Amino acid sequence: MAESISMDSVDLTILRVLQNDARTTNRDLAAAAGIAPSTCMDRVARLRAAGVIIGYTVRLDPARLGRGLQAFLAVTLRPHRRPVVAGFVAAVRALPQVRALYHVTGREDFLVHVAVTDVSDLQRVVLDEFTARTEVASVTTNLIYEEWPGPPLLPAESR
């Protein structure tokens, strides 16, 4: 389990601003946190080095990229052992249709979020990329009608 680091209100302000707009300039970030730009840069570097900030992303619209059909695939492996899991994870993460992969507890072993062009493409992915694998015992497909992002990890400061 990752260890947490000691953070003060300035660190939390920096994180709140960046989680909502990772493109915020260092100057604007420093102003929001009430510190000098050089201090802000040092704070961000410390948060990155500690693993609190793990990256910066761009969100893309799958439909505008020709992948308007999304689904969750609930996958069960047999046997569910570390070497089998490692091989499965490596193979699935290499598929361009995969948006996210979760190793979960419960009836299924994995939830895989995929974005495909249409129903035929989904069927091809399920049959050729998942159920064709010897370790895959079953796949249950759930179509995604609509998606909403979750709230920020750090809530807005109460004033």
**Of residues 63 and 2, more confidently modeled:** 63
**What digits encode the pLDDT tens for the residues 76-114?**
999 999 999 999 999 999 999 999 999 999 999 999 999
Confidence of residue 2 (pLDDT cuts 50, 70, 90): low
Cα–Cα distances in Å, from 16 out to 11, 40, 92, 136, 156? Answer: 9, 14, 33, 41, 7
Q: What is the pLDDT of residue 155?
A: 80
User: Cα separations (Å) of 97 from 55, 75, 108, 115, 124?
Assistant: 21, 15, 20, 5, 11
Residue partners of 108: CB distance under 8 A and separation at least 6: 74, 75, 76, 138, 140
pLDDT in tens, 14-73: 999 999 999 999 999 999 999 999 999 999 999 999 999 999 988 899 999 999 999 999
**pLDDT of 124 higher than 90:** yes
**Domains of the chain and CATH, by start:** 9-49 (1.10.10.10), 63-144 (3.30.70.920)
